[in-house]
Amino acid sequence: MSKALDGVRILDFTHVQSGPTCTQLLAWFGADVIKVERAGAGDITREQLRDIPDVDSLYFTMLNHNKRSVTIDTKNPEGKLVLEALIQKCDVLVENFAPGALDRMGFTWERIQELNPRMIVASVKGFGPGPYEDCKVYENVAQCAGGAASTTGFDDGPPVVTGAQIGDSGTGLHLALGIVTALYQRTQTGRGQKVLAAMQDGVLNLCRVKLRDQQRLERTGTMKEYPQYPNGMFGEAVPRAGNASGGGQPGWILKCKGWETDPNAYIYFITQAPVWTKICNVIGKEEWASDPDYATPAARLPHLKDIFAEIERWTMTKTKFEAMQILNRYDIPCGPILSMKEIAEEPSLRKTGTIVEVDHPTRGKYLTVGNPIKLSDSPTEVKRSPLLGEHTDEVMTELGYSPEQISALRTAGAI
Ligand code: COA
């Protein structure tokens, strides 16, 4: 079966997490992704957080599936010529170097345009143009600068970063969309263009609702769905809302049976208005359904803490899965707090290809997250990540280099 991005060639200059997530997605959609790495070392994540000595780390293998790896010294004059040949052959160059690194290599936008006017040059940077544009940025810096950290955590504690990699993988996703959009526009214009996804912007985009709340707060001085109402004071900026749902339907994380020893024996419980009577019946507080202090969403707001405490008395008598089963019978929205162990073992995620077992020549079998985006006409087959330089000869031959030329370039240290 054909793939959505068949025929698209990506010159992948990415490393660490943000860029590699983007090019991995493009590879899963069928693009030929040629990852350029430094000879001898490669992407730094190959050796970071290793669990097996001298074997590519899971950090690397889980972000670089379905790619080919070539090693080129881009600072070597002959290496630069190989890179020029690649630029002429590819449709998209993706990079997430520190600001200015591509220019310092000699590959400015103007130079790339001279070589290939159809080339799309896509970059992840920490910040867009402005006071911080020259800064190097990693995941948690982006979470802090994009508004996620100041709005995450509990009001009586410090800002908190989330385990979801919204700065790196989130920006990689944004960049992938920018790239396919630019490819589509190129079918009309015939021209390439620059695509920029700044990590601060990507995080802020995902924190859009908090900028909404900032303006509501400034206008009204309060926000009724926040736990600070009515128990606390609002300051000038959006406060941390703990586990409040943030929408019109109040929610909270509640203990379940076994919470004393299992750190994930919890459930997220939403007191959705249309099922309020059912909630009252399930937890044995039938009288709340008609009590004017509890019967309507507005009346309940000042009592939310007590309401959740009462519901928790019920959830603590059930495991999170038992509670799920009972609550789902009544269409009461809720979700178990699943550990990574439980997720890894979940058969339905294996069935859909969201969790995949991959075999690797030096590491053996490992689990990875497959393509979360499913296309009916372009199914994803997850293939192992490449070894360092595994495809150098193959790609050089495709570029028209003879075996003698390849060996001379290798002797010169260019590849
Ligand atoms: N051959 C020769 N040199 C190479 C090369 C190759 N194949 N590939 C990269 N290099 C060089 C670059 O040219 C650069 O050299 P220079 O600084 O002399 O110009 C150098 O390697 C290092 O690149 P850099 O990107 O600065 O790496 P770093 O380890 O110092 O910084 C980051 C890492 C992530 C902080 C930085 O790349 C960054 O801020 N990226 C943008 C934001 C981002 O994506 N952050 C999230 C990472 S998950």
Angstrom distance (rounded) from CA 168 to CA 340: 20
Q: Residue 1 above 90 pLDDT? A: no
How would residue 204 be classed by pLDDT, with cut points 50, 70 and 90?
very high
Q: Residue 246 above 80 pLDDT? A: no
| pTM of this structure | 0.95
Percentage with pLDDT > 70 across the chain: 99
Q: Residue 225 above 90 pLDDT? A: no
Q: What is the mean pLDDT of residues 77-88?
A: 97
Report yes or no: 247 and 271 within 8 Å, Cβ to Cβ: no
The answer to which of 166-175, 224-233, 275-284 has the lowest mean pLDDT is 224-233
| Residue 230, preceding peptide bond in cis (omega within 30° of 0) | yes
Provide the annotated binding site for CoA. 17-18, 38, 96-98, 104, 136-139
Is the minimum distance from the CB of 223 to ligand 1 under 6 angstroms?
Answer: no
Q: Residue 398 above 80 pLDDT? A: yes
Best mutation site among 82, 97, 132, 175 for ligand 1 pocket (most ligand atoms within 8 Å of CB): 97
Number of the ligand 1 atom closest to the C-alpha atom of 171:
44
Q: Residue 232 above 80 pLDDT? A: no
Residues 250-256: contacts with CB within 8 Å, 24+ apart?
250/225, 250/297, 250/300, 250/301, 250/304, 251/333, 252/304, 252/308, 253/337, 254/308, 254/311, 254/312, 254/315, 254/316, 255/312, 255/315, 255/316, 256/315, 256/316, 256/318, 256/319, 256/320, 256/323
**Domain boundaries of the chain, sorted by first residue:** 9-205+346-412, 251-332
Number of the ligand 1 atom closest to the C-alpha atom of 72:
7
Looking at the structure, give the CATH architecture of the domain made up of residues 9-205+346-412: 3-Layer(aba) Sandwich (3.40)
How would residue 229 be classed by pLDDT, with cut points 50, 70 and 90?
confident
Q: Is 32 in the active site?
A: no
Report yes or no: 130 and 203 within 8 Å, Cβ to Cβ: no
Task: Report the nearest-CA residue for atom 13 of ligand 1.
Answer: 101
Q: Nearest 5 degrees, angle CA 319-CA 320-CA 326?
A: 90
Angstrom distance (rounded) from CA 60 to CA 385: 8
How would residue 409 be classed by pLDDT, with cut points 50, 70 and 90?
very high
Task: Report the nearest-CA residue for atom 44 of ligand 1.
Answer: 96
Q: Residue 3 above 90 pLDDT? A: yes
Is the minimum distance from the CB of 367 to ligand 1 under 6 angstroms?
Answer: no
227 alpha-carbon distance from chain centroid: 28
Task: Report the nearest-CA residue for atom 17 of ligand 1.
Answer: 101
Percentage with pLDDT > 90 across the chain: 93
Q: What is the mean pLDDT of residues 172-185?
A: 98
CATH number attached to the domain at 251-332: 3.30.1540.10
Taking each helix axis from N to C end, the angle separating 77-89 and 403-411, rounded to the nearest 10 degrees, works out to: 140
Q: Residue 34 above 80 pLDDT? A: yes
Task: Note whether 9-205+346-412 and 251-332 share their fold.
Answer: no
Q: Residue 327 above 90 pLDDT? A: yes
